[in-house]
A and B are shown apart, each in its own frame.
Chain A
Amino acid sequence: MTGLLTRPRAVAAALGFLLLALVAAVAPGLFAGDPLAADPLHVLEPPSAAHWFGTDQLGRDVLDRVVHGARHSLAIAVAATLLGVTFGVLLGLLAGLTHKYADEALSRSFDALSAFPLLLLALLFIAIAGPGTVSLVVAIGIATLPHYARVVRAQTFVVRQAGYVTQAVAFGDRRLTLVRRHVLPNVLGPVPVLAVIGLGEAILAAAGLSFLGMGPQPPSPEWGAMLSESRGYLSIAWWTAVLPGLVVTLTVISLTVAGRHFQRRFEGRLG
């Protein structure tokens, strides 16, 4: 706790993100208006008291769309990160526990996967599976998996040498029990920290891919898709692009700052 109190920036970042997550969770039903309600009389109006973020080309309130979009974008990023973490941990554990050849094969697959830029890998997947929200989640999940798998594999190597594991083996614990009770809890250490930073990267990747038209399709208020639509009106209505973009950036910044803080604390505790 003392670490958190001396670090106001990290606290602010973490609170900022939690606030956004809260807004994304409750605001759409409570006080944000309909993100699809078009108003032909108030098209492309600059920010005002009635419309804080202005209106877009169909007269829809940009702030309402950003708030609803937060729900879409965060859900996609969280789902993709969970997918990447789950399979990354399982495969990393498998590689760390198996012997030479299986480990070698798995590790080389992680290498091969991470040889591709995230965006291209996701595009390859989408070319096969077709665009859409589910494809987006799976594509980002697969692309981020090797990162977690590698860390967990390295961690497993350390843990399997530990005294409590050799003792459990000597005790005659069954393999599965051994892994579940002794190995898994101890290799998970760095994963939550990585996942916080990874969540920010997943938000960026999802926004980028749906900007390219690979994710939720318009008129769905997803951040990347919104920004893609706003591109055509840039010369006359900067707010339709810049203000939602600012929200995306602030979200990722808050995750990165909080994540780095946790990382430093985690490493400090180890060192």
Chain B
Amino acid sequence: MIVLRRLATGLVVLWAAATAAYLALLAAPGNTVDSIIGDGADTPQIRGEIISEWGLDRPAVVQYLTYLWRAAHGDLGRSYLLQRPVRDVLGDQLAPTLQLALAAAVLGITLALVLAITTRRPWSRRVSSTVELVLVSTPPFLIGIVLLSVFSFRLGLFPVAGDRGLGALVLPAVTLALPIAGVLTQVLRDGIDRALEEPFVVTARARGLPERAVLVRHALRHALLPAVTLLGWLTGILLGGVVIVETVFGRPGLGQVTLQAVTSEDMPVVLAVVVFSAFAYVVVNTLADLAYLVVDPRLRRS
């Protein structure tokens, strides 16, 4: 029952995102035909062909429903600029971006887990908190710029730009992962602090469990619950972050496609990115809600 309701809410959010994106397209200034022609030949005949080909002469409601129907089937229209299906344009660039996002997510989460558990003593805790504060307060592109100038330009350890090989993935992934680790560590540490005051921790200690085991097996598990809710946030940070990180490191990917589409007003591509990010957000949040039910049996009863 809860699962069904979650899925239904997810669908509603997706529909809202697609509709909002469509309204945005209507609100965009400029003539659609002009945008499609771009710098190409412009005769009344070509205009007529474009209007009938893209269905621009049909009523707005019909166009909207066609758009929804196609979007539901994964067809997001054609790029004005590249004259190719948007799905192909995004599909080509998905792999490098997914690689980067996954690497950053794994790295960020691992770093946060390790830091939250190992920096329990007052001194190390203070150092770690300061570093976290600096990381979340620094513009992500600045982290990238600093890493580039130290590790690529000074030390020559990693390539300056591109996406060839694993070496080129290291600095972008670290850049994207550091702010994530900063936020997650703070959340996990607060969670552990709160869990350590719970009676079950006293019980565990009374049973003679070593402190490390109390931390990892009892407190950390408790602290993971609020962290699971942050998965949706994490997706958002990753999707927004790749735009900046790909720019700093000159990597191809969805971020670059988005940026190019925004500057050249290639609205179908911009809308597709918006719908795609809503889709990713809904999927991750639904999964997070389901994970919640698995992790915390108390929620299944209500």
Q: Given A115-B282, A116-B274, A120-B239: A256 and B145 within 8 A (CB)?
A: no
Q: Which of B44-52, B83-91, B205-213, B254-262 contacts A (4 or more CB under 8 A)?
A: B254-262
Decide yes or no: A248 and B139 within 8 Å by CB, A116-B281, A242-B145, A242-B146 being known contacts: yes
A181 within 8 A of B: no
Contact yes or no, A112 B137, CB < 8 A: no
CB distance B259 to A234 under 8 Å?
no
Question: Do A124 and B281 touch (CB < 8 A)?
Answer: no
Question: Given the known A-B contacts A252-B138, A253-B137, are A212 and B259 also in contact in the complex, defined by CB atoms under 8 Å?
Answer: yes
* Proximity string of chain A (117-129) to chain B, C-beta cutoff 8 Å, 1 when within and 0 when not: 1111001101110
A245: chain B residues within 8 A (beta carbon) = 138-139, 142, 145-146
Q: Are A208 and B146 within 8 A (Cβ)?
A: no
Closest to B133 in A: A253
Q: Which residues of A contact B (CB under 8 A)?
A: 108-109, 111-112, 115-120, 123-124, 126-128, 131, 200, 204, 207-208, 211-214, 224, 227, 230-231, 234-235, 238, 241-242, 245, 248-249, 252-253, 256-257
How far is the CB of A94 from the nearest CB of chain B, in Å?
19
Q: Find A127's partner among B17, B139, B141, B270 (CB 8 Å cutoff).
A: B270
- The listed residue (A204, A208, A231) touching B145 by CB distance below 8 A is A231
B265's nearest neighbour on chain A, judged by CB, is: A127
Cβ contacts A to B, 11 pairs, < 8 Å: A115-B282, A118-B236, A120-B273, A123-B258, A124-B274, A131-B263, A212-B244, A212-B247, A212-B259, A245-B145, A249-B137
B71 to chain A, nearest CB (A): 16
Chain A residues, CB < 8 A from B273: 120
B116 at the interface (CB under 8 A from A): no
The chain A residue with its CB closest to the CB of B247 is A212
A99 CA to B47 CA, complexed, in Å = 49
**How far does the alpha carbon of A147 sit from the alpha carbon of B168 in the complex, in Å?**
37
Expressed in whole angstroms, the Cα–Cα distance for A58 and B144 within the complex equals: 24
> Would you call A238 and B142 a contact (CB within 8 A)?
no
B137 and A256 form a contact (CB under 8 A): yes
Given contacts A249-B142, A256-B136, contact A115 B24 (CB under 8 A): no
CA–CA, A256 and B183, complex, Å: 13
- Write out the residue numbers on chain B whose beta carbons fall within 8 Å of the beta carbon of A127: 28, 261-262, 265, 267, 270
B278–A115 contact, CB under 8 A?
yes
The 8 Å CB contact of A238, one of B139, B149, B239, is B149
Point out the residue from B149, B235, B258, B270 that lies within 8 Å of A235, measured CB to CB: B149
When chains A and B are docked, how far (Å) is the Cα of A108 from the Cα of B148? 42
Q: A115-B278, A117-B236, A207-B139 are in contact. Are A257 and B133 (CB under 8 A)?
A: yes
A126 to B240, CA, bound (A): 15
Bound-state Cα–Cα, A24 to B241, Å: 29
Contact at A252–B281, with CB atoms within 8 Å? no
Known: A116-B277, A200-B137. A123 touches B243 (CB 8 A): yes
Q: Which of B212-245 contact A (CB under 8 A)?
A: 232, 235-237, 239-241, 243-244
B140 CB contact (under 8 Å) in A208, A231, A234, A257: A208
Check: B82 CB closer than 8 A to any chain A CB: no
B29 within 8 A of A: yes
Q: Which residues of A contact B12 (CB under 8 A)?
A: 108
Given A127-B262, A127-B265, A227-B141; 19 other pairs, CB 8 A cutoff: A115-B232, A116-B278, A117-B235, A117-B237, A118-B240, A119-B241, A120-B273, A123-B243, A124-B262, A127-B261, A208-B244, A212-B247, A231-B145, A234-B145, A248-B138, A248-B142, A252-B137, A252-B138, A256-B133
A112, A120, A238: the one within 8 Å of B240 (CB)? A120
List, in ascending order, chain A residues with CB within 8 A of B146's CB.
Answer: 242, 245
Q: Which residues of B contact A212 (CB under 8 A)?
A: 243-244, 247, 259
Give the interface centre of B28, B133, B138, B277 by most chain A CB atoms within 10 Å. Answer: B138
Q: In the complex, which residues of chain B have a beta carbon less than 8 angstroms from the beta carbon of A118? A: 236, 240
B16 in contact (CB, < 8 A): yes
- B27 interface hit (Cβ, 8 Å): yes
Distance in Å from the Cβ of B155 to the closest Cβ of chain A?
A: 12
A119 touches B244 (CB 8 A): yes
A234 to B281, CA, bound (A): 35
